[in-house]
Amino acid sequence: QMVPSAERVRFVNSGTEATMLALRLARAYTRRNKILRFEGHFHGWHDEVVHGFQLPFEADGSLGVPPQVRSNVISIPDGDLKLVEAVLSEERDVAAAILEPSGASWGRVPLDRSFLVGLRDITVRQGVLLVYDEIVTGFRFSPGGAQQLDGVSPDLSCFAKILAGGLPGGAVAGRAEVMELFDFTGDPHHDRFERVTHQGTFNASPPSAAA
């Protein structure tokens, strides 16, 4: 009720797991491979988002990440809608654009609302899913997070931290037609080859879910 874009929810164990799962889901839904991210925005430690977080942004984010992974990540400065439009017009294999709607989790001037609204418009026109990383902003900027404050409805949202009340936990939430890719249908071919898998011993951990 507080987050209208959250038509369905999938519980995970951390913010990193939330962004990792959201990006897998976006690639599955769009049948595209690349991710657009913004320099300085933090989305966890997994391979797809570790690049472009720390200066110098063009350097490798960590040892141990195959170059093939980095080749599917496009990292650009935020705040420039013309640049976003140019990149998404040229790169036709982008599945999702992910960002912290605050403009990154460290001390800096917040993103202007016009950029967030414009980004939503561009991603819709280009068929790219918009992923809001609300791990810091969720339930803090407003009861419905930054998206409620800015009046932007992302396709997918990632939550953690305050969501689990101090316990390990997080969630991916979003449009039902995207989230239904997790569903079993009873059809053997679909359930083996046409759905997004998400196995884990502590998925939807009862203590964290209760918190």
**Residue 205 pLDDT class (50, 70, 90 cuts):** confident
pLDDT average, residue stretch 98-109: 83
Residues listed for the chain? 211
What's the pTM? 0.93
Give yes or no for residue 69 having a pLDDT over 90: no
State the pairing for strand pair 73-76/34-38: parallel
Whether 115 has a pLDDT exceeding 90, the answer reads: yes
Hey, how many other C-beta atoms are within 10 angstroms of the C-beta on 144?
Answer: 18
Q: Which of 46, 119, 45, 107 is nearest to 76 (CA)?
A: 119
CA distance 69 to 64: 11
Mean pLDDT (whole number) for 12-39: 96
DSSP 8-state assignment for residue 95: E
Q: Which of the residue ranges 36-45, 47-56, 139-148, 153-162 would you say has the lowest mean pLDDT?
A: 47-56
Domains, the chain, ordered by start: 8-210 (3.40.640.10)
Residue 58's pLDDT is 84
Report pLDDT for 80: 96
Mean local confidence (pLDDT), 75-101: 97
pLDDT of residue 17: 95
132: exposed, middle or buried (C-beta count within 10 Å: 0-12, 13-18, 19+)?
buried
pLDDT exceeds cutoff 90 at 91: yes
CB-CB contact of 173 with 198 (8 Å): no
Helices in the chain by DSSP H: which ranges?
15-30, 67-70, 81-90, 113-126, 145-150, 176-179, 188-193, 206-210
AA letter at 71: S
Q: What is the mean pLDDT of the chain?
A: 92
What is the distance, to the nearest Å, from the Cα of residue 22 to the centroid of all Cα atoms in its chain? 5
pLDDT of the residue at 99: 96
Q: Describe the strand order of the beta sheet including 170-174 as a list of residue ranges.
A: 8-12, 170-174, 156-159, 129-133, 94-99, 34-38, 73-76
- Provide, rounded to the nearest whole percent, the portion of the chain with pLDDT above 70: 99
Using the predicted structure, report yes or no on whether residue 105 has a pLDDT greater than 70.
Answer: no
3-state class percentages of the chain: helix first, strand second, coil last, to nearest 5? 35, 15, 50
pLDDT over threshold 80, residue 106:
no
